[in-house]
Amino acid sequence: MRLLMNRAKREILTGVTLGLIFILLFIIIFPWVSSSDKEVIQTNELVWKPYVYWQREEGVRKTIQMKGKKVWVFGGSAVWGTGVEWNETIPSYLANYGYNVTNYGETGYVSTQELILLIQELKSGFPPDIVIFYDGFNDVFSAYQQGVAGLPMNEFNRVKEFNLSKKWVGEYLQAKLHKQKHNLNMECTNGVLYNYYQNIEMVLALSICFKFKFYSFWQDYNYKNNKFFDKSYELAKHFKQVLEVPEEYFIDQCHLTKEGNKIIAERIYNNIK
């Protein structure tokens, strides 16, 4: 019995010591972390949100505030602005042109989730003047990941248990990108574009009812030499405006540097002004 008590005491002491070391390292390292990384650390909690599955606990990301036409921008983490400061996102750069912009981008969102979120926000009774969808990568990735077009990303987690709220933002996207194991059906790319097109048609119908202008743009991505992604990209070019950017502006497969975001915002502005 005494041996067990001593062992338990040692385990508790070890745990406390490791905890203190972690806290000390955090205090030392955190001040040196970039402010954009700090924001990701501080806002990495995803909480359950009806119909769209998940959203950051803080809601929409901070955006430069300007007076002007009300603009809602929807998309995935590329719109949210992973890898850049809050004032270096596509929505913030767009706001600099004199718009009152809200950033509705969220990590991992596919176009169907964006459509549902738009519907939920329209119920507030204060519709915007302009709605913008900037997306594409997540729709393709979800189909590549699961072999079925039109599903939210990581849908298998819904089957098991929704547990995304404790994961680092973007971690699951990167972790699963190279773990696609099903028999890849290239015809699924047609389903991706069909599903996306149907979502766009629904937003256009909403724009008539709620009297807002709607613009949608297919994002560029740096995940070339993959047959599934390449075919989806080529199909998208047939009916969507693809906002291409040089490779040097990519942080990873789909997120852009602040310079890249500024280029995209300028191109969007040239289409909506």
pLDDT tens per residue, range 42-87: 456 788 888 888 888 778 999 999 999 999 999 999 999 999 999 9
Around 66, how many Cα atoms within 13 Å sit in the side-chain half-sphere?
16
pTM for the predicted model, two decimal places: 0.79
How far is residue 93's CA from residue 27's CA, in Å, rounded to a whole number? 33
Beta strand 242-243 with 213-219 is parallel
Residue 88, token pair as written in the block = 């270096």
Residue 11 confidence (pLDDT): 61
Residue 270 confidence (pLDDT): 96
- Among 4-13, 183-192, 198-207, 244-253, the range scoring the smallest mean pLDDT is 4-13
Residue 169 confidence (pLDDT): 45
Distance between start and end Cα atoms, the chain: 78
Residue 33 confidence (pLDDT): 46
Residue 16, token pair as written in the block = 């406390």
DSSP 62: P
What would the pLDDT profile of 120-174 be if each residue is shown by its tens digit? 999 989 999 999 999 999 999 999 888 888 888 877 766 565 554 445 445 545 5
User: Phi and psi at residue 211, in whole multiples of 5°?
Assistant: 60, 50
DSSP 61: B
